[in-house]
Amino acid sequence: MNLKKLRDMIYTCLAYLSLLLLIIPLCWILFECIIEGGHYIINRPIEFFTDIGRPPGIEGGGIGHAIQGSLYMLGLALLIGIPVGIFAGIYLAERKDSPLAKAARFVSDILVEFPTILVGVVTYTFLASKVTGILATGPAAFAASFALALIMIPIVARSVETAFLTIPNDIREGAYALGLSSRHVIFRILLPAVKTGVVTAVLIGLAKIVGESAPIIVTNGISNFWFSKWTEPAPSIPVLIYVYGLSPFKEWQTQAWAAALFLLLLIMAIGFLARRITKKLWTGV
């Protein structure tokens, strides 16, 4: 009997140990970001957010160009991804038993797990590649936006679908019984009812693409200048972290930590906002 108790205790310790193994690296990452990166940001608070990167060996510089590039890229990606994702999501919920909805649901469940680097490869092949692409621009910012939009669409669609499915059927029946057209029912009755759910869906999609770097590197390449044209490579925060982190220069590595801190805070803020809105949806406060 005592042996059994001992074994139970050992297992319990191992279980807690595994939790520790998960939490320690997180603390380590946050610690490095705050100590290395936070220090840099505090020393040059304005320069860091507004200035362009310096060549290696020269002190100072910031990630202003990467923030600007990311804003452009994410902006276009949202412009494409939000409407497509929302409309597809509404269809999935309102025609949930149709073969098309079933197929789209199956595909989007796979796409959520799909390697994002391949999304970049395919987008580049069809749009930007000088040999096979339609626009034949070579690596370009707009291709990165398209890839990000494609990554975002299935996530937004599934979340919007979930939001629409929470609406009781009575409301649909009531609205149709009044003789309203489907267009009115969907856009005037149902969509306003789950507005917060739709906003959350968009935020979830945004949180997914804001830190993506692989599809951007593949479609847009690497740039360390200000955003100039949609058909040229543009900088972005994740790719800047990638380039600066791989470089052997201490100043660049410090700035990579600072950019990582900024990116983490951004993602946490989006997540916090999404949770806040969802809470409001359920409790009304």
Residue type, 142: F
d(CA 161, CA 190): 12
Q: Which of 87, 165, 189, 230 touches another protein (CB under 8 A)?
A: 87
The first and second tokens of residue 105, run together, are 């649901």
Residue 157 touches another protein, criterion: CB under 8 A: yes
Residue 3 touches another protein, criterion: CB under 8 A: no
Question: Counting beta carbons within 10 angstroms of the beta carbon of residue 120, is it exposed (0 to 12), middle (13 to 18) or buried (19 or more)?
Answer: buried
Report 28-47 residues binding another protein (CB under 8 A): 28-29, 32-33
Q: Among the candidate windows 55-63, 86-94, 194-202, 224-232, which touches another protein by CB under 8 A?
A: 86-94
The first and second tokens of residue 271, run together, are 């997540």
Least separation, in Å, of the C-beta of 206 and another protein? 12
Residue 201 touches another protein, criterion: CB under 8 A: no
Residue 140 touches another protein, criterion: CB under 8 A: no
Residue 96 touches another protein, criterion: CB under 8 A: no
Q: Are 166 and 173 in contact (CB under 8 A)?
A: no
Residue 113 touches another protein, criterion: CB under 8 A: yes
Element (H, E) at 24: helix 2-32
Least separation, in Å, of the C-beta of 196 and another protein? 20
Residue whose CB is less far from another protein, 46 or 147? 147
Q: Which of 242, 251, 255, 258 touches another protein (CB under 8 A)?
A: 242
The first and second tokens of residue 25, run together, are 């690296």
Please give the DSSP secondary-structure letter assigned to residue 94: H
d(CA 16, CA 207): 30
Residue 135 touches another protein, criterion: CB under 8 A: no
Least separation, in Å, of the C-beta of 182 and another protein? 4
Residue type, 170: D
Residues 6 or more apart whose CB falls under 8 angstroms from that of 252 comprise: 53, 56, 243, 244
Report 261-280 residues binding another protein (CB under 8 A): 263-264, 267-268, 271
- Residue corresponding to tokens 């494409």: 80
Q: Which of 62, 69, 81, 154 touches another protein (CB under 8 A)?
A: 154
Residue 221 touches another protein, criterion: CB under 8 A: yes
- Comparing CA positions, the residue from 215, 213, 236 lying closest to residue 224 is 236
Least separation, in Å, of the C-beta of 281 and another protein? 18
Length reported for the chain = 285
Residue whose CB is less far from another protein, 46 or 131? 131
Q: Which of 2, 134, 177, 183 touches another protein (CB under 8 A)?
A: 183
